């Protein structure tokens, strides 16, 4: 039978909250895996409260948790813990992003989990990793970004650094985790063996240094990587340029210098010995930036863009989020897509970045309500009757929020 998507048949037990871990399991759900999101009683994933909210629903939570099944459990209660241990028996992957050590204190560390299910793949995601001097410290995306030497590389040299207003580190660590889990699944397919994976935001951020680490080390400290504002410190022209009504980003490497000069009507610059190599252009960067911005002063952003694109100069308008969301390319490829949540209504979120030729259609997914799948999951996988689930809910071991009037539960596949 044709599976509905790549990962149909795989079951994931997902303790993660906030962003990094939920990114991993969101992508798994979008690829057809069955994701059981274990939310901690009584309130569940803290992102239920994050903006933007409507009808008691968080757009933030919806974006990260579509297609998952929610069970809400008090795992400090022995009955709750016993239910979770039953679920571990039938899951392929267990994922968590508590502070290091917390999952073991809950009684669900790797040593326990592997005893319950020797084929299990367990993945922990943390800010700094499971070992080392920093591992115990609390951490979020920007904390790891600061320690990784990445934040120091953003901004003007004589000013404090900046950080980007988006969670690059969390999403990236989530994708790194997805890659590691996949490799472990491939390995298990051949050998039948599970294993434990340690993913951190710090590792993922540091992994993004393509030049800085080797250049500083290889040059024995002669090249000191530093933030340099709107223009790159090692290549030119490469940076942001001001037009009449906005900004363009240009990447002009060796081959593109001549077309750029021609686009500006400045063929005289082509043979100018001050600019004929990248090293000289870096040295005379300020002059070059002035020449280009002087030319751009007479152009609106989108007119200059077309001129430069016609000359095959790598160039982009610096789009705002609303502009990007309206761009025909992003719409045509569903880089931005519109979804419909049962409670919240219509909402735009980023598209799925993994495109498979055999599975071109996205799955129709809904974000769960808190504890929506207590009954289904525990009766199916933990041998508990519906009546027992109801009793556990009355006792507070399990929690579920009532579905609003008119909202139907998502039927199991």
Partner 1 sequence: MMQPKHVLDGYRVLDITQYLAGPAATNLMVQMGAEVIKLEIGPHGEPVRNFPFCRDGRSGYFIQQNRGKKSLCLDPKTPEGLDIIKQLLKHCDVFIENFAPGVVGRLGLGWDVVREINPDIIMCSISAFGQEGPLAAHPGFDYIAQAYAAVSDLIGEPDRAPSMPMLAFGDVGTGVHALTAIGYALLERARDGGGQWLDISLLDSYFHYHEVSVQAYSASGGKVQPHRSGSHHYAVGPSGIFKAKEGHLMILALLHQWSPLCRAMGREDLIADPKFVDNDARMVNREEMIAIIEGWLQTLPSDAAALAILEGARIPCAPILSVPQAMAHPHMIERRTVREIDDRLLGKFKIPGMPLRFSKYEVDENIQAPLLGEHNAEILQRFLKYPPEQVRDLENRKVLFSKPV
Residues 244-263, interacting with partner 1 (CB under 8 A) = 247-249, 251
Among 412, 20, 342, 322, which residue's Cα sits nearest to residue 201?
20
User: How many residues form the binding site for partner 1 (CB under 8 A)?
Assistant: 153
81 binds partner 1, rule: CB under 8 A: no
Please report where in the chains the tokens 């803290």 appear, as a residue.
46
Interface pick for partner 1 out of 148, 366, 374, 400 (rule CB under 8 A): 148
319 binds partner 1, rule: CB under 8 A: yes
Query: Rounded to whole angstroms, what are the CA distances from 68 to 44, 159, 282, 364, 408?
Result: 14, 44, 50, 12, 15
The Cα 124–Cα 179 span in angstroms is 13
297 binds partner 1, rule: CB under 8 A: no
How many alpha carbons fall within 13 Å on the CB side of residue 143?
10
Interface pick for partner 1 out of 102, 307, 330, 390 (rule CB under 8 A): 330
282 binds partner 1, rule: CB under 8 A: no
In the complex, the smallest distance separating the C-beta of residue 77 from partner 1, rounded to whole angstroms, is: 23
The Cα 274–Cα 261 span in angstroms is 14
Structure tokens at 116: 């319950």
> Per CB under 8 A, which of residues 186..215 are in contact with partner 1?
186-187, 189-191, 193, 195-200, 202-215
89 binds partner 1, rule: CB under 8 A: no
In the complex, the smallest distance separating the C-beta of residue 71 from partner 1, rounded to whole angstroms, is: 24
Of 92, 170, 198, 341, which residue is the catalytic one? 170
In the complex, the smallest distance separating the C-beta of residue 114 from partner 1, rounded to whole angstroms, is: 9
299 binds partner 1, rule: CB under 8 A: no
Structure tokens at 357: 């030729």
Active site residue 267: no
Query: Rounded to whole angstroms, what are the CA distances from 305 to 245, 260, 292, 313, 397?
Result: 12, 12, 13, 9, 60
Cβ atoms of residues 296 and 304 within 8 Å? yes
301 binds partner 1, rule: CB under 8 A: no
Interface pick for partner 1 out of 276, 351, 388, 393 (rule CB under 8 A): 351
At residue 37's C-alpha, the angle toward residues 90 and 12, to 5°, is 35
In the complex, the smallest distance separating the C-beta of residue 261 from partner 1, rounded to whole angstroms, is: 17
73 binds partner 1, rule: CB under 8 A: no
Residues carrying an active site annotation:
170
């Amino acid at each position: 039978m044709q599976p509905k998507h790549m990962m149909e048949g795989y079951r994931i037990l997902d303790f993660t909250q906030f962003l990094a871990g939920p990114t991993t399991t969101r992508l798994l759900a979008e690829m057809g895996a069955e994701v059981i999101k274990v939310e901690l009683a009584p309130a569940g994933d803290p992102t239920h409260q994050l903006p933007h909210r409507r009808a008691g629903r968080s757009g933030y939570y919806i974006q990260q948790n579509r297609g998952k099944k929610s069970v809400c459990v008090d795992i400090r209660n022995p009955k709750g813990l016993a239910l979770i241990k039953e679920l571990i028996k039938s899951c392929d992957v267990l994922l968590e992003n508590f502070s290091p050590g917390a999952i073991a204190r809950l009684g669900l560390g790797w040593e326990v989990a592997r005893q319950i299910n020797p084929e299990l793949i367990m993945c922990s995601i943390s800010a700094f990793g499971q070992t080392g001097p920093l591992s115990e410290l609390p951490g979020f995306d920007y904390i790891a970004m600061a320690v990784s030497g990445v934040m120091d590389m953003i901004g003007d040299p004589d000013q404090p650094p900046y950080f980007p207003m988006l969670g690059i580190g969390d999403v990236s660590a989530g994708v790194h985790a997805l890659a590691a889990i996949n490799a472990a699944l491939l390995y298990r397919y051949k050998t039948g063996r599970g294993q434990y994976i340690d993913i951190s935001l710090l590792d993922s951020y540091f992994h993004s240094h393509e030049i800085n680490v080797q250049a500083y080390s290889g040059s024995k400290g002669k090249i000191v990587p530093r933030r340099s504002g709107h223009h790159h410190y090692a290549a030119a022209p490469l940076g942001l340029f001001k037009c009449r009504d906005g900004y363009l980003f240009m990447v002009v490497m060796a081959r593109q210098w001549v077309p750029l000069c021609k686009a500006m009507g400045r063929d005289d610059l082509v043979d100018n010995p001050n600019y004929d190599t990248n090293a000289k252009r870096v040295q005379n960067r300020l002059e070059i930036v002035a020449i280009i911005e002087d030319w751009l002063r007479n152009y609106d952003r989108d007119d200059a863009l077309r001129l430069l694109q016609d000359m095959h100069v790598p160039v982009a308008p610096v789009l705002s989020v609303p502009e990007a969301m309206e761009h025909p390319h992003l719409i045509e490829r569903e880089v931005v897509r519109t979804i419909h949540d049962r409670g919240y209504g219509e909402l735009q979120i980023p598209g799925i970045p993994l495109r498979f030729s055999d599975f071109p259609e996205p799955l129709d997914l809904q974000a769960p309500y808190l504890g929506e799948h207590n009954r289904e999951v525990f009766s199916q996988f933990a041998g508990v009757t519906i009546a027992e689930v109801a009793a556990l809910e009355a006792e507070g071991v399990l929690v579920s929020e009532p579905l609003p009037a008119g909202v139907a539960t998502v039927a199991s596949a």
